[in-house]
Amino acid sequence: MVTDPIALAGHRIVEIPASNLKKRMTEILYEQGYILKYKFEEDNKQGLIKIALKYDPTTKQPAIRALERISRPGLRQYAKPAEIKRVINGLGVAILSTSKGVITDKQAKAENVGGEVLCHIY
- Can you give the CATH number for the domain in which 58 is found? 3.30.1370.30
pLDDT of residue 3: 54
Sign of CA dihedral 102, 48, 27, 30: positive
Report percent pLDDT > 90 for the chain.
78
Answer yes or no: do 38 and 5 share one domain: yes
Answer yes or no: do 57 and 106 share one domain: no
Q: What average pLDDT does the segment 76-93 reach?
A: 94
pLDDT of residue 1: 40
Answer yes or no: do 86 and 115 share one domain: yes
Q: Pick the closest to residue 55 from 98, 12, 104, 117 (CA basis).
A: 12
Question: Is 11 or 40 the better-scoring residue by pLDDT?
Answer: 40
DSSP labels, 32-84: TTSEEEEEEE--SSS-EEEEEE-B-TTT--BS-S-EEE-SBTTB--EE-GGGP
Number of domains in the chain: 2
Residue 92: domain span = 67-121
The answer to whether 115 and 99 have CB atoms below 8 angstroms apart is yes
Answer yes or no: do 55 and 86 share one domain: no
pLDDT of residue 99: 96
Q: Could you read off the pLDDT of 17-50 as tens digits, one per residue?
A: 999 999 999 999 999 999 999 999 998 889 999 9
